[in-house]
Structure 1
Amino acid sequence: MSDPQTSPAPRKDSLIVTRFGFVSIQLVLVAVALLSVGIAVSLGQVDVPLADSYRILLYKLSGIQIGDMSDILAGQHLNIIWNIRFPRVILALLIGAGLSLCGTVMQAAVQNPLADPYILGVSSGASLGATFSIMIGFGTMGFLGQTGVAFWAFAGAFGASMLVLALAGIGGKMSSVKLVLSGMVINALCTAFANFIIYFANNTEGIRSVTFWTMGSLAAAKWDRLPLVAIIVLAAALLFLFQSRILNTMLLGDETAVTLGINLNLYRRIYLLFTAVITGVMVASCGMIGFVGLIIPHLVRGIVGSDHRRLMPTSILIGGIFLVWTDVLARIAIPKVELPIGIITALIGAPMFMYMLIKKGYNFGGK
């Protein structure tokens, strides 16, 4: 009997993996991530020399000074780098990694290449919660250091996910088809309620706030907001990095899983519950950022294959790097104007997805 940990993955490894090796790819991605952080904190409406950015970060993180830094420490660059841009870049790394991780898990759990972190109605539930908070006036309520909007967005996302799981489990065993259909139903229902609130609220400023929030933005990144997101995303990454055997088995289907003695229905419920919580926290922190959880796993499959031992860590790293650079584009694309990051991810992600569909240069489930 084949090993479920390796059998779902394509037998023919990618040329990139064969030539450089998986470990080398991870080391290169880590180096690219570190370089991206330094460049990202240097770019913006006020350009900071790259060398100064690294010196400031090194000083704040370790207390080590390189050369005479009296002018740097007395100027505005220190505040720009450490209090404004660096928390934002770290949040971008975490959100990109988390969305890619959740997208990879969701695509395996529901056995659908079009699955993304929002398939359980998380986006529509979060939108309903945020709309309720902004338009009705509960935006001042706090929750674990987050704003009232973040609290209601998380509550809406988590509530919608629970409704989807409950609906998909009615009448027998949960299946991937029932999950997708239940997600569509709850998505339509939450969207209708959100539009109902907007229509009768008659609040122009609130409508603008809701619209900007639903497009996603990292502008609200602060040091006090990072711990919750960091703990959730890092804990989830640590968990799912050790779940490659189960995730690979999910790609083989329920019948194969029964033969191997694995209760996929139980694992599917647990994984979907975890991804709902993770995605809810991320959406509450920065709004809805589309295409990252959908595109990145497909892109990575074309590099390292479908085996989750390679797919999961590579998706986490590339997802973080991708969102860092899309946030840079959102900040500098138009002078003195910051675009919602969801616009940038859609403009980049949609053509990439069309290219992959035309080329068919990726594998899903080893097929």
Structure 2
Amino acid sequence: MDKQDVSRIGMGKIYYVIILLLIGSIIISAVYSVSIGQVSIPFKQSMDILLHTLTNGKVGTLDSVDSESYLNIILQVRMPRVVFALLIGVGLALCGAVMQAVVQNPLADPYILGISSGASLGATFAILVGFGSSALLAQFGVAFGAFAGAMITSMAVLILSSIGGKATSVKLVLSGVVIGALCSSFSSLIIFFANNAEGIKTVTFWSMGSLASASWDKTPILTIVIVLGAALFLFQHRVLNTMLLGDESAITLGINLSAYRKLYMILTSLITGTMVAYAGMIGFVGLIIPHITRGIFGADHKRLMLGTLLLGGLFMIWADILSRTLIQNVELPIGIITSVIGSPLFIYMIVKKGYNFGG
């Protein structure tokens, strides 16, 4: 066995240790998150309630719980929010990692490429204008609007970046900025002409991002979209790695990158639209999490993707904790928290010379 094989085995062990640490951190952070708030619940009692509930009474006991109200607070109010934070973090980090590979640019994410702005425009249209009286659209109007906006925006970015020749990473990013600004302008125009105070207040939610509307009723759709998307992309590491090498290398490997780019843009638009429909616009997560994970695990998507998903979920749980605890009795929009953390790192990435996918 040569030194390279020994090094590979050692790196593999470290990788699995870090993955286990991330999973453990998510579990501990989730319990801590449901323990704090206007009503403080002891950590051990929160753990007992969750274990008792998740195992259907086989593990854990409720004898140590001081108040029955703790069960409702944790299970009906705080736990849906933790699940939402975990799913949104996974989804945003996933879309960011995929977008960065698609456009071969480590500074890309759905926010930068305008997809989030398109989804927000669709949600704004659904809230303030509506889709009519159809029962189906009345039930899924906002989600449908956000998804349609994300899809149309992604297609517009692809078309615009392809005008005058082959789409390059620079043209894709610039096209995304332009389309995103255009979508934001249309959103502002709709708000300006809308005579709906309650609707305008709701739209403000989309522009800043929040998990305040989290509930078990909304969890199934979000779970299905994000879990299926994550499961799919976890097995796409070969294509994602090839995208970093460029089209010429892909041709020699027999991979049609153009078709995969379109497919990945559609899938990330679906995921982004769903997240915006439920949580509004939350920026920078899809940008900074893949970058941090790439610095830990390297550029190989076989290891990068799982680490990115877990770190994204952990990051959003703590961003939600900060949004609820930084100012007493005041809940800050979670988009503000992620932007305050992400902006300095984004500036660092721009200023740093020679940055590439190797981290």
1:163, 1:186 within 8 Å by CA — same for their partners in 2? yes
- Give me the whole-angstrom Cα distance separating, in 1, the residues matched to 2:276 and 2:193: 25
Residues 211-270 of structure 1: per-residue CA shift (max 9 Å, x gap): 232110011111111111111111111111111111111111112222222211111111
Closer, same or farther: CA 143–311 of 1 in aligned 2, 3 Å: farther
- The counterpart of 2:173, out of the listed 150, 162, 180, is 180
Match of 1:21, SS state, is: helix
- Give me the whole-angstrom Cα distance separating, in 2, the residues matched to 1:22 and 1:68: 35
Task: Verify: 1:151 aligned to 2:147, yes or no.
Answer: no
TM-score normalised over the length of structure 1: 0.86
The equivalent residue for 2:274 is: 281
- Give me the whole-angstrom Cα distance separating, in 2, the residues matched to 1:34 and 1:142: 39
- The counterpart of 1:260, out of the listed 236, 253, 261, is 253
Task: Verify: 1:41 aligned to 2:34, yes or no.
Answer: yes
Deviation at 1:83, TM superposition (A): 0.5
- The counterpart of 2:323, out of the listed 296, 305, 330, is 330
Letter in 1 for 2:47: Y
- Give me the whole-angstrom Cα distance separating, in 2, the residues matched to 1:158 and 1:79: 38
Higher relative contact order (CA 8 A, sep 6+): 1
Letter in 2 for 1:93: L
Match of 2:255, SS state, is: coil
Task: Verify: 1:31 aligned to 2:50, yes or no.
Answer: no
The equivalent residue for 1:305 is: 298
- Give me the whole-angstrom Cα distance separating, in 2, the residues matched to 1:41 and 1:125: 33
- The counterpart of 2:86, out of the listed 93, 109, 128, is 93
Deviation at 1:74, TM superposition (A): 5.8
Letter in 1 for 2:114: G
- Give me the whole-angstrom Cα distance separating, in 2, the residues matched to 1:21 and 1:235: 27
Match of 2:38, SS state, is: coil
Letter in 1 for 2:323: A
Match of 1:46, SS state, is: coil
Deviation at 1:202, TM superposition (A): 4.6
- Give me the whole-angstrom Cα distance separating, in 2, the residues matched to 1:139 and 1:218: 27
1:98, 1:278 within 8 Å by CA — same for their partners in 2? yes
- Give me the whole-angstrom Cα distance separating, in 2, the residues matched to 1:207 and 1:150: 17
Which deviates further from its counterpart, 228-237 or 164-173?
A: 164-173
- The counterpart of 2:191, out of the listed 174, 187, 198, is 198
1:230-245 alignment to 2 at 5 Å?
Answer: 230-245=223-238
Match of 2:57, SS state, is: coil
1:301, 1:363 within 8 Å by CA — same for their partners in 2? no
1:74-153 alignment to 2 at 5 Å?
Answer: 75-136=68-129, 148-153=141-146
Letter in 1 for 2:332: L
Which deviates further from its counterpart, 180-189 or 139-148?
A: 139-148
Deviation at 1:273, TM superposition (A): 1.1
Residues 157-177 of structure 1: per-residue CA shift (max 9 Å, x gap): 223223333444556654434
Residues 247-302 of structure 1: per-residue CA shift (max 9 Å, x gap): 11111111222222221111111111111111111111110110100001111111
Closer, same or farther: CA 130–142 of 1 in aligned 2, 3 Å: farther
The equivalent residue for 2:48 is: 55
The equivalent residue for 1:208 is: 201
- Give me the whole-angstrom Cα distance separating, in 2, the residues matched to 1:139 and 1:59: 45
Compute the RMSD of aligned alpha carbons: 2.8
Closer, same or farther: CA 61–67 of 1 in aligned 2, 3 Å: closer
2:115, 2:153 within 8 Å by CA — same for their partners in 1? yes
The gaps in structure 2 that reach 5 residues or longer are none
1:126, 1:154 within 8 Å by CA — same for their partners in 2? yes
Closer, same or farther: CA 265–241 of 1 in aligned 2, 3 Å: same
How many residues are paired up? 352
Closer, same or farther: CA 322–365 of 1 in aligned 2, 3 Å: same
The equivalent residue for 1:163 is: 156
TM-score normalised over the length of structure 2: 0.88
The equivalent residue for 2:244 is: 251
Q: Percent identity?
A: 58
1:306, 1:363 within 8 Å by CA — same for their partners in 2? no
Letter in 2 for 1:332: T
Residues 132-177 of structure 1: per-residue CA shift (max 9 Å, x gap): 2333366997769966433322332223223333444556654434
Closer, same or farther: CA 127–141 of 1 in aligned 2, 3 Å: farther
- Give me the whole-angstrom Cα distance separating, in 2, the residues matched to 1:183 and 1:306: 24
Letter in 2 for 1:197: I
The gaps in structure 1 that reach 5 residues or longer are 1-10
Which deviates further from its counterpart, 68-77 or 147-156?
A: 68-77
